[in-house]
Structure 1
Amino acid sequence: MYTLQSLEELHLSGTLTHELSRSATLDSLRELKALRVLTLRSRLTKIPPSVGDVAVNLQRLCIYNEGLKLQAFSSLKKLTNLASLELIGCELERIPSAVFSLSSLQELDLKENKLTTVEEILSLQHCRRLVTLRLWHNGITYIPEHIAKLKSLETLNVSWNKLRKLPSRLFYCTKLRHLNLSHNQLTSLPAEVGILQSLQFFSAAFNSLEQLPEELFSCKRLKTLALGNNCLLSLSPRVANLAQLVRLELKGNRLDSIPPEIGDCPLLKTSNLVVEDNLLDLLPSDVVGGKHLSISFSLLKDYTSLVQFIYLLD
């Protein structure tokens, strides 16, 4: 296998610990001059030094460590062309400092670790090309204000953490297009959310939000707005400003009604409006009718019903 000099992807899975500890085993990686993607699914205590043998061309490194603590990261510094790094299930308590030297890094995924604070996130500004940061499934309790230094960030996923509030400076990452805050302990959102004029996907589902800032409805490029399973009592009529909205999730709140202005969202169909059935029933017929019509053809029992249905559409 190690003579396949045109090999571009290599995925190794299994008990690799002992093999990788003997330098003769993976020294052959240096022959894989075309290797672009390397995935290791195992229980490693350090990143194998032999990974550095393919440093020049390696663009994606994924380590799924199955909950064993990964402690040595010096080999990362050689990966100067690395664009994507995943360190998943590695028991990390902080972002490894070796990551900050990866000047070509565009995506960083630290899923399922033991991060509780990310103060060192400031040093990620040295990764000037970083556009995607995933810190999901950790125990992060707060995000520092200096996250605003990550000017190029387009995707941020901090779902499944323990966030109680958000810094207003987070929303000065003005290039954000995808922001996932779901499954936290948020009770409010800063008004600065309205700064994100490039935002297309926003999820704050499974929190404890009681109300939304009016400024949220200034994000006119929003296509998906997920707010299910909160404590919302009402939805602002300004939802009509979201002309590009194609999906709205509200199910699992304390809403008594939905504003009829929701019918002014031209791309939002009833099938993509996720809410309790009784709230849909309260909407005016002209809102749920026409191009927003969601009907089951199983209800058309006979030919007469079908003719009547066609007549109504006509």
Structure 2
Amino acid sequence: MSRLKGVSERDPRAGFKAERRDCGASVPQGLLKAARKSGQLNLSGRNLSEVPQCVWRINMDIPEEANQNLSFSATERWWEQTDLTKLIISNNKLQSLTDDLRLLPALAVLDIHDNQLTSLPSAIRELENLQKLNVSHNKLKILPEEITNLRNLKGLYLQHNELTCIPKGFEQLFNLEDLDLSNNHLTTVPASFSSLSSLVRLNLSSNQLKSLPAEISGMKRLKHLDCNSNLLETIPPELAAMESLELLYLRRNKLRFLPEFPSCKLLKELHVGENQIETLGAEHLKHLNSILVLDLRDNKLKSVPDEITLLQSLERLDLSNNDISSLPYSLGKLHLKFLALEGNPMRTIRRDIINKGTQEVLKYLRSKIKEDEANQRDSVTETAMTLPSESRVNMHAIITLKILDYSDKQTTLIPDEVFDAVKSNIITSINFSKNLLCEIPKRNNFLSSLPEEMESLIRLQTINLSFNRLKILPEVLYRIPTLETILISNNQVGSVDPEKLKKMENLITLDLQNNDLLQIPPELGNCVNLRTLLLDGNPFRVPRAAILMKGTAAILEYLRDRIPT
């Protein structure tokens, strides 16, 4: 009868009382009998509004089968039963627990999640063998100080309650390894938390924390820290000294700066998405030697430093929904498995390449590295002063296609020989893009306006003004009714006039990629003659990338639906 030692001191009749028959159908006798042998009882999801007495007294009262069978076999010796060490009463309707909890002193696991508990009994202090306590998804507003007596506790799960503070003496739970306080109403974390030296995992997400104590660095074994969805504006620099930290979650806060991590040599995942971070510098990256995942989505980053190549172990990089217009080609040297760029006004990579996925983007960046190296070699063999001969002008394009093309020559002027080649031929399209021109007809790269005299070009059908410095769609273009194609990508255009565009009945292609459009006027949706409308690479937030990918018709319909009535 040694199994009754301890509880018999509280109840001298223990072991000789007939089992009370108040369990009803909610706790079958067969389940109790099995629990006496295994030491485990699972009463989850039985619609219980209170814990039956037969559960609390399972190791004290004479079982029902003892009254029905006076000759016990070896498997039915109820006096040799195992003390209950694991009790699961989750997913019920319990509003409280009684002090009878003390009658189960051998409990190592108590799981009462998903009930309606508003408090815990003070008798919980007597469960000195308890190693795991799950009281998540209840309605606890406070924790009893007696909980600090559970010195053997290794796992404490209190998420999804209504806690506003932590009781004094909490640091006495020095064996605690896993602590979940997420989804409560905490506004502060006690500095005494630093005494939880055995803690490996700490979840503080979805609270109302405005700061973290510097003392948190005292958790020398902490590997996983989750502070998502709080009100954090800064991170104590001491956090960067946590040498054991492997996973750090800081998403959905109010961080404006990314901390440096000089001592976090083991950090594998850093999640700082949905903040207000504006700068990513070499000082933020140079210590992240082991980083595998870097989440920077939904911030205000404008650029990515060349030092991103320091992250040689990086596998996943999320840069979506920032203000990044270009990427360093050196990014192509990383061996990324996942790269997210959606929602950025990207100017150096075409949308169709981004849509093909990570490996195509990396392949493109690597090709640009090789192209730059080749250009550097070739630059010594060609000068901008070299004048073309008539043979370098595409006469077939002039005569048959009515196109004068003298693009990508890096010249500051268009030589007379080019215009002499045209002679009496009618030209409807001129392409002088990717040069160093400062005025008409020497245009591209530095143009900030167009002369009003262009209005006299009554047969002009296509105009390419890409790669200049135009800040608006030139007014003169609205007055050229023959225009079918306007290519004005890679400028600084900040606005267009949808009413004037609507009157350009022949206009079917409008390329506004990689400009500075902060918003797209809904009235642009009325330009129903447009067959190609390109808007990628602008800093507007709507329409989102998913709409742009559907094509011009979907974009125009989306805009029309948002015209104010």
TM-score range, shorter chain: 0.7 to 0.9
1:112 to 183, 203, 213: 183
1:2 Cα deviation after fit? 5.5
Which residue of structure 1 lines up, in the alignment, with residue 522 of structure 2? Answer: none
The correspondence of residues 153-168 of structure 1 with structure 2, limited to 5 A, is 153-168=222-237
Report the RMSD for the aligned CA atoms in angstroms: 2.5
Which residue of structure 2 lines up, in the alignment, with residue 100 of structure 1? Answer: 171
Aligned to 2:113, the other structure's residue is in SS state: strand
8 Å Cα contact 1:179/1:202 also seen in 2: yes
Structure 2: 5+ residue stretches without partners: 1-30, 41-85, 355-360, 368-565
Which residue of structure 2 lines up, in the alignment, with residue 47 of structure 1? Answer: 120
Tell me the TM-score normalised to structure 1 length: 0.79
1:260 Cα deviation after fit? 1.8
8 Å Cα contact 2:330/2:366 also seen in 1: no
What is the letter of the counterpart of residue 236 of structure 2? P
1:95 Cα deviation after fit? 2.3
Aligned to 2:90, the other structure's residue is in SS state: strand
Which residue of structure 2 lines up, in the alignment, with residue 187 of structure 1? Answer: 256
1:64 to 123, 126, 136: 136
Aligned to 1:193, the other structure's residue is in SS state: coil
1:27 Cα deviation after fit? 5.3
Number of corresponding residues: 276
Structure 1: 5+ residue stretches without partners: 290-314
8 Å Cα contact 2:197/2:218 also seen in 1: no
1:89 Cα deviation after fit? 2.7
What is the letter of the counterpart of residue 29 of structure 1? L
Which residue of structure 2 lines up, in the alignment, with residue 275 of structure 1? Answer: 341
The correspondence of residues 229-244 of structure 1 with structure 2, limited to 5 A, is 229-244=298-313
Which of 1 and 2 has higher RCO (CA within 8 Å, sep 6+)?
1
8 Å Cα contact 1:148/1:170 also seen in 2: yes
Indicate the structure (1 or 2) with the bigger Cα radius of gyration. 2
C-alpha distance in 2 between matches for 1:196 and 1:260: 28
1:154 Cα deviation after fit? 1.5
8 Å Cα contact 1:29/1:51 also seen in 2: no
1:276 Cα deviation after fit? 2.1
The correspondence of residues 65-144 of structure 1 with structure 2, limited to 5 A, is 65-66=137-138, 68-118=139-189, 120=190, 122-144=191-213
8 Å Cα contact 1:234/1:257 also seen in 2: yes
What is the letter of the counterpart of residue 104 of structure 2? L
Identity %: 27
The correspondence of residues 209-224 of structure 1 with structure 2, limited to 5 A, is 209-218=277-286, 219-224=288-293
Q: 1:180 to 1:82 in 2, by over 3 A?
A: same
* Deviation digits for residues 90-145 of structure 1 (CA, Å, limit 9, x no counterpart): 32222222431112101111111111122x1x212322211211110001111222
C-alpha distance in 1 between matches for 2:120 and 2:107: 20
* Deviation digits for residues 173-194 of structure 1 (CA, Å, limit 9, x no counterpart): 222111111000111123x323
1:152 Cα deviation after fit? 2.3
The correspondence of residues 23-34 of structure 1 with structure 2, limited to 5 A, is 23-24=99-100, 26=101, 29-30=104-105, 33=106
8 Å Cα contact 2:329/2:366 also seen in 1: no
8 Å Cα contact 1:2/1:28 also seen in 2: no
Aligned to 1:248, the other structure's residue is in SS state: strand
C-alpha distance in 2 between matches for 1:74 and 1:168: 32
* Deviation digits for residues 202-244 of structure 1 (CA, Å, limit 9, x no counterpart): 0100001111232232211000000000000011111111111
C-alpha distance in 1 between matches for 2:362 and 2:244: 37
Aligned to 1:129, the other structure's residue is in SS state: coil
Query: Aligned pair 1:265/2:334, yes or no?
Result: yes
C-alpha distance in 2 between matches for 1:276 and 1:227: 12
1:79 Cα deviation after fit? 2.0
Which residue of structure 1 lines up, in the alignment, with residue 438 of structure 2? Answer: none
8 Å Cα contact 1:59/1:84 also seen in 2: yes
C-alpha distance in 2 between matches for 1:133 and 1:284: 36
C-alpha distance in 1 between matches for 2:362 and 2:241: 39
What is the letter of the counterpart of residue 92 of structure 2? G
C-alpha distance in 2 between matches for 1:126 and 1:145: 13
Aligned to 1:262, the other structure's residue is in SS state: helix
C-alpha distance in 1 between matches for 2:240 and 2:342: 31
What is the letter of the counterpart of residue 207 of structure 1? N
Tell me the TM-score normalised to structure 2 length: 0.45
